Amino acid sequence: MPEVELRGIVKRFGKVTASRDIDLKIADGEYVTILGPSGCGKTTLIRMIAGIIEPSEGKVLIGGRDMEGVPIEERDIGYVFQNIALFPHLNALGNVSYGPVVRNKDRKEVEEIPRRYLELVKLLDRMKMFPSELSGGEQQKVSLARALASGAKILLLDEPLSALDARVRMDLRYELRRITKDLGLTVVHVTHDQEEAMTVSDRIVLMRNGRIVETNTPEMLYLEPKDLFTANFVGETNLLEGVVKEVLEDRSLVELRDGTVVEARPSKFKSGDAVVLSIRPERVHPASEGLGAVIRCITFMGTYIRISVETDSEDRVNFDVSTSEDRDYNIGDRVDLIWSKRSGILYPRPPEGVQEAIKLE
Ligand SMILES: Nc1ncnc2c1ncn2[C@@H]1O[C@H](COP(=O)(O)OP(=O)(O)OP(=O)(O)O)[C@@H](O)[C@H]1O
Ligand SMILES: [Mg+2]
């Protein structure tokens, strides 16, 4: 059974620690994405699962077996590398056929399987082309087809869609999930694109600076982020600093810098605690009375309009209104903003400051 387990993994490159105390279990057949800003250690993690590099401390187990010293070709792994890495001397078909050939599949399968996956990535008509004759995006598609055709039970995908344009990326996301679920594969998919992570995964592992910040389903990570960094990195949010005034059974009352009192969910905080209130732009609405603000910027986004305001508490808040809404908004207008108390989440105010706590390092 190809479940993957990382136990107490630390990876050091000289002075740089790229992985810190990583514990993670990926179930057989699960689709997990590793999400996080550039340089946070995603590729390092996936390379240790593959056996391209060894951890400095801790263990990688596949199917319960300790992988120390086991080379990549014995780990039953299909890999899409971040820098693509096709065999330059083989054409597209040769690249995709590589797995089935080395696995000694019969002739019919060697004929059929690579064509099936080249068709999936819409490159059948280019199968005779060599990597040097293909665009970056086409090479990435060949690389993906090669990993799928390899017959491996574990797929490691490092930014597999990054070189593709938005439309193709969306189609392939959907196909990737469908096929890997049909084949019952265990997938570890690395991306720094939170929308991609949200749409393909059973679970998202959010990383920052070599550590796992939080692991959860896409819905829970978006709706119930346990950490301020998560709230800000997964989706967009507004962060308002304040002090808890009172915690009631059904809500918390928070006093902002200018003395305005706003509502959030009930919480474990006590009055006087310094907090940060997180509220998503789609939860903020204009009303006749609420948090006073002045409109500073209006951006047309297609299906909605993004409005940026400066509140009387000197916070920047974004909110969205539907393009079909009748009301006119103009820069310099005053608006009052409200949200339902359930949608405001409170976090302890980080001692290092909010900006430092959400920084993408
Ligand atoms: N072979 C290496 N030698 C020295 N430092 C390394 C090596 N590989 C990675 N690092 C360092 O480890 C850290 C994590 O790198 P890694 O490639 O895992 O990041 P990443 O999350 O995949 O980033 P990106 O999204 O940009 O691909 C970085 O600071 C990087 O410079
Ligand atoms: Mg990387």
Residue-wise pLDDT tens digits, 53-73: 999 999 999 999 999 999 988
**Residues β-bridged to residue 154:** 77, 186
β partners of residue 61: 5, 66
pLDDT band, residue 310 (cuts 50/70/90): very high
The CATH number that domain 236-358 falls under is: 2.40.50.140
pLDDT at 104: 77
Instruction: Identify the band that residue 105 occupies on the pLDDT scale cut at 50, 70 and 90.
Output: confident
* Region label for 245, one of left (φ > 0), alpha (ψ between -120 and 50) or beta (otherwise): alpha
Q: For ligand 1, what atom is nearest to the CA of residue 210?
A: 14
How confident is the model at residue 109, as a pLDDT? 86
Of all protein residues, whose CA lies closest to atom 28 belonging to ligand 1? 39
Give the pLDDT confidence score for residue 82 in this predicted structure: 84
Ligand nearest the Cα of residue 361 is 1
Q: How far is residue 230's CA from residue 207's CA, in Å, rounded to a whole number?
A: 9
Please state, for a pLDDT cut of 70, what percent of the chain lies above it.
100
The third-level CATH classification (topology) of the domain covering 4-228 is Rossmann fold (3.40.50)
At 137, phi and psi to the nearest 5? -65, -40
Tokens representing 183 are 């084949």
> 208 CA distance to ligand 1 centroid (A)?
12
Task: Tell me how long the chain is.
Answer: 361
pLDDT, residue 164, reads: 87
For 201-222, what is the mean pLDDT?
Answer: 97
Q: Does residue 342 have a pLDDT over 80?
A: yes
DSSP code at position 81: B
pLDDT of residue 296: 97
Angle at which helix 92-102 crosses helix 136-149, to 10 degrees, equals: 20
pLDDT of 92 above 90: yes
Measured CA to CA in angstroms, residue 4 lies from 24, 76, 156, 218, 347 at distances of 8, 11, 11, 20, 33
Mean local confidence (pLDDT), 129-158: 92
- Kindly report the average pLDDT of the chain as a whole number: 93
Q: Is the CB of 13 under 6 A from ligand 1?
A: yes
When pLDDT is averaged across residues 281-308 and rounded to a whole number, the result is: 95
CA distance 347 to 80: 38
- Could you give the percent of the chain with pLDDT greater than 90? 81
Q: Quick check: CB of 11 below 6 Å from ligand 1?
A: no
Region 315-343: what's the mean pLDDT? 93
Ligand 1 pocket member 205 (CB < 6 A)? no
Q: Which residues does 184 contact at the CB level (< 8 Å), separation at least 6?
A: 28, 29, 153
Q: Inter-axis angle of helices 136-149 and 166-183, to 10 degrees?
A: 10
* Secondary element (H or E) of residue 345: strand 345-348
The predicted-structure confidence for 11-57, as pLDDT tens digits, reads as follows: 999 999 999 999 999 999 999 999 999 999 999 999 999 999 999 99
340: left (phi over 0), alpha (psi -120 to 50) or beta: beta
Predicted pLDDT of residue 1: 65
Kindly give the distance from the C-alpha atom of residue 41 to the centroid of ligand 1, in angstroms, as a whole number. 6
For ligand 1, atom 1, the nearest C-alpha belongs to 13
Taking CA atoms only, the protein residue closest to ligand 1 atom 12 is: 18
pTM: 0.92
Cα(49)–Cα(142) distance, rounded to whole angstroms? 22
Q: Does 53 contact ligand 1 (Cβ within 6 A)?
A: no
Residue 183 CA, distance from chain mean position: 23
Q: Give 240-293 pLDDT, tens digit per residue.
A: 999 999 999 999 999 999 899 999 999 999 999 999 999 999 999 999 999 999
User: In the chain, which residues fall in CATH 3.40.50.300?
Assistant: 4-228
Name the nearest CA neighbour of 29 among 162, 174, 206, 186. 186
- Closest residue by Cα to atom 25, ligand 1, is 38
Q: What is the pLDDT of residue 177?
A: 94
**CATH 2.40.50.140 residue ranges in the chain?**
236-358
The reported pLDDT for the residue numbered 195 is 92
Give the mean model confidence (pLDDT) for residues 150-170: 91
